[in-house]
Amino acid sequence: MFFSNIIWIVMDYRYSNMLSEMKQSEIRELLKYASSDDVISFGGGMPNPQAFAIDDLKEIIDYLIENHGKDVFQYGSTAGIVTLRKEISKMLSETEKIKVSENNIIVTSGSQQGLYASAKVLCDPFDPVITEMPTYIGALSAYNANKVDIHGVEMDDDGIMTEKVEDEIRSLKNSGKPPKFIYVIPTFQNPSGRTMSLERRKHLLEISEENDIPIIEDNPYGELRYSGSRIPSIKSLDKNDSVVYMGTFSKIMTPGLRIGFIAGPQEFVDRINLLKQALDLATNTLSTYIAAEYLSRGIMKKQIPKSIDLYRRKRDIMLRALADHFPDDSEWTKPDGGMFLWARVNSRIDTTLMAKEAISRGVMYVSGSAFYPHMERRDEMRLNFTFPTDEKIEEGIKRLASLIREKTAHL
C-alpha cells in the first residue's frame, strides 16, 4: 500500500478460454524467413506471381472504376454481388458438373472464412468432426478456434481410408457424440498432394448418407491438374444435399483479392450469411466485382492453362531433384496437380526440430506435424513447388537432401 501512488498499474486482460488451444501457426512463423533472399522457400502455399494475369486485372479494375466507381467502393451485400454468384454457378457447372443456383452460393473472404464459418454454424464447442490426417493447417486453425474436437483418419495413396471413417463414426456414435461433419480435400490434397479415388468418393458419400453426417468438400486446387484425368467432385455425385462445397479463387486468380465461396443447401447458406454479417459484414466489394469480370471476360479460362504449364514444369523439376538427391530411405508423393508434395524421411528424424536448422542452411519447408490434429507423426514435410524459381527448386532440394543425409549419418 505504501507505494500505491507510484506503482504503475497496467490493465489485466482476462482472455477467453475458448481460444486457449490456439497456437501460432508454424507456417505463419516460418513465412517471416520466406522473404529473405538467402532462404529458398518450399514453406508457403503461395501461387507464383508469374501466374497472375496482372495486365488483365489492371484493365478490369480500370473499367470497373470508370464505369462503376460508386458501386465498387460502396458497401456490398453479404452474399456477394449476384453477377459473381451467377458466374460461379456457371463455372461449377462447366468444370465440375456441379449444378447449383446462385442463391445457394455465398461469397466468402477467402476460403479460410468458409472453413471457420462452416464449423461455427454446425458445431458447438467439443463437438467432434472427422478430417483427413494429415489435413490443411488452416482447417485445423479454424476448427481449434471453434473448440471443435478433431478426429483425423488415416490416408493412403487413394485418399482418406473410408473404412476407417466408418470405424471412427461408429466409435463416436457409441460414445454418444456423432461427428458433425466430415471435412475432406479430395483432389490434390493439402498437404499430401494425394487425390481420392472415385471408389472412395462414392463410398464416402454413402457413409455420409447412411449416417446423416454432411461432407464438407474443399476444392482449392481442382483446376490445377498436370497429369492424369479428372475425377468427379463428390458434390457432383451428391443427390441429397449431403455435400457442402467450398472453392476459392486464390490459386487460380490471385490470393490477395480474398475471394472464396461456399455452395450448399439453402438453410446452410442462409446461416453462413447471417454469421458473415457478424464476422465482416461483406466481402471486399471491389474484389467481388473484379472476380465477376474476370470470369465473364473468360480470363479464368485463358489463364489457368498458363498456370498449369508453369506448375507442371516446377512439379517435374522437384520430383526429378528428389529422385536425384534424397536418400533411399525417404519417400514422397507424386501429385497429379495442386501445389504440394509430401515427403517422409527416416522415421528417426524429427522434421519439426530440423526445420530451424534447414533455414540456417537456406531452405524452408513446413514440418508434417503441423498438419496433424495432435502431431501424430514427426517425420514428414510439406514441399511447395509452385512459388520458387526452377533453379531454386533444384538447389533447395539439394540443400535439404544434404541436411537429411548428415542427420541420418548421425542417428
Half-sphere exposure of 385 (CA within 13 A, CB side): 36
Give me the least distance between CB of 399 and a second copy, in Å please: 24
* Least CB distance to a second copy at residue 68 (A): 10
- Using CA atoms of 157, 390, 365, 141 in order, give the dihedral in degrees to the nearest 10: -70
Query: Which of 42-50, 88-96, 194-202, 225-233 is the region at the interface with a second copy (rule: CB under 8 A)?
Result: 42-50
Task: Choose, by CB under 8 A, the member of 36, 67, 74, 171 that binds a second copy.
Answer: 74
Question: How many Cβ atoms from other residues are within 10 Å of residue 302's Cβ?
Answer: 11
The piece of 63-71, 149-157, 162-170, 328-336 that touches a second copy (CB under 8 A) is 63-71
Nearer to a second copy by Cβ, of 123 and 310: the residue is 123
| 15 touches a second copy by CB under 8 A | yes
Which range, of 5-13, 88-96, 183-191, 341-349, touches a second copy by CB under 8 A?
A: 5-13
Question: Distance between CA 314 and CA 144 in Å, rounded?
Answer: 33
Please identify, among the stretches 23-31, 98-106, 194-202, 395-403, the one whose residues bind a second copy according to the rule CB under 8 A. 23-31
Nearer to a second copy, 225 or 258 (CB): 258
Residue tagged 464476422 (cell numbers):
279
Cβ proximity to a second copy: between 291 and 343 the closer is 291
What is the footprint of a second copy within residues 85-144 (CB under 8 A)?
Answer: 109-110, 112-113, 116, 120-125, 127, 138, 141-142, 144
Amino acid identity of residue 406, one-letter, is E
Size of the site for a second copy (CB under 8 A): 87
CB of 78 to a second copy, least distance (A): 7
Residue type, 264: G
CA angle 259, 114, 296 (to 5 degrees): 30
Preceding peptide of 134 cis, ω within 30° = yes
**Binding to a second copy in span 147-186, by CB under 8 A:** 180
Binders of a second copy among residues 269 to 298 (CB under 8 A) are: 271, 274-275, 277-287
User: Smallest distance from the beta carbon of 106 to a second copy, in angstroms?
Assistant: 13
- With contacts defined by CB under 8 A, name the span among 85-93, 207-215, 308-316, 317-325 that binds a second copy: 207-215
- CB nearer a second copy, residue 118 or residue 195: 118
Closest Cα to residue 130, out of 147, 148, 152?
Answer: 152
293-299 LR contacts (CB < 8 Å, sep 24+): 293/60, 293/63, 293/64, 294/53, 294/56, 294/57, 294/60, 294/249, 294/253, 295/84, 295/87, 295/88, 295/90, 295/91, 296/83, 296/87, 297/56, 297/60, 299/53, 299/56, 299/60
Report, in Å, the least distance between residue 296 CB and a second copy. 19
C-alpha span between 21 and 148 (Å, rounded): 10
